[in-house]
């Protein structure tokens, strides 16, 4: 029985495939909540950044023929360049956006501007405990029960 469990646990690709959609929702929820893995809120934008975004939003509104009323924008925009990759024993979330690394870890960007870390790709313990582990265990148990 233990050998069958061991063999079944070597390749959990179907479980990872099943988790992919939930994993994507989990990552997007962090992004929307503007919350880091420790539960803290992301650092606020600087006043200069807010002014620049307001001017851009007003120009965009004028170009659309709307009143000079800007739309509310999220801190990092939308999480579009976001991919989920899974293998036989892991699942990975990553962003293909060029700015994602500096947003995740913080650092200096053009003209010496310092960007604070705004961690958005992380896994919540509750997600692992309540969603991922039960799916993986169910998959391994199903495969181990099969007679070969």
Could you list the pLDDT tens digit for every one of the 148 residues in the chain?
A: 678 778 778 888 889 999 988 988 888 888 888 888 888 998 988 888 888 888 888 888 777 776 655 555 544 455 567 788 888 888 888 888 887 888 889 998 888 888 899 888 888 889 999 999 999 999 888 888 875 5
Q: What's residue 118's pLDDT?
A: 87
Q: To 10 degrees, the CA torsion angle through 90, 80, 109, 75? A: -110
Residue 130's pLDDT is 94
- Identify the three-state secondary structure at position 102: helix
State the residue for tokens 């200069």: 48
**Predicted pLDDT at 138:** 92
pLDDT at site 1: 67
Residue spans of alpha helices (H) in the chain = 2-10, 13-33, 47-63, 100-105, 125-127, 133-145
Helix, coil or strand: residue 108: strand
Please provide residue 85's backbone torsions phi and psi, each rounded to the nearest 5 degrees. Answer: -125, 135
**Cα gap 72→122, rounded to integer Å:** 25
Residue 134: per-residue pLDDT: 94
- Whether 141 and 114 have beta carbons less than 8 Å apart is answered as no
pLDDT for 44 equals 87
Opening angle at CA 79, ends 108 and 61, nearest 5: 90
């Amino acid at each position: 029985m233990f050998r069958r469990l061991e063999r079944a646990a070597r390749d959990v690709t179907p479980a990872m495939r099943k988790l992919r959609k939930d994993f994507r929702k989990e990552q997007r929820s962090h992004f929307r909540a503007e919350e880091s893995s420790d539960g803290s809120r992301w650092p606020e934008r600087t006043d200069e950044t807010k002014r620049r975004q307001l001017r851009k939003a007003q120009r965009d509104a004028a170009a659309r023929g709307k009143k000079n009323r800007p739309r509310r924008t999220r801190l990092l925009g939308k999480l579009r360049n976001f991919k989920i990759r899974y293998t036989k024993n892991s699942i990975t979330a990553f962003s293909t956006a060029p700015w994602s690394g500096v947003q995740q870890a913080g650092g200096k960007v053009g003209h010496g501007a310092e960007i604070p870390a705004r961690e958005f790709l992380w896994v919540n313990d509750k997600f692992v405990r309540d969603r991922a582990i039960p799916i993986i265990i169910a998959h391994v148990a199903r495969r181990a029960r099969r007679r070969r």
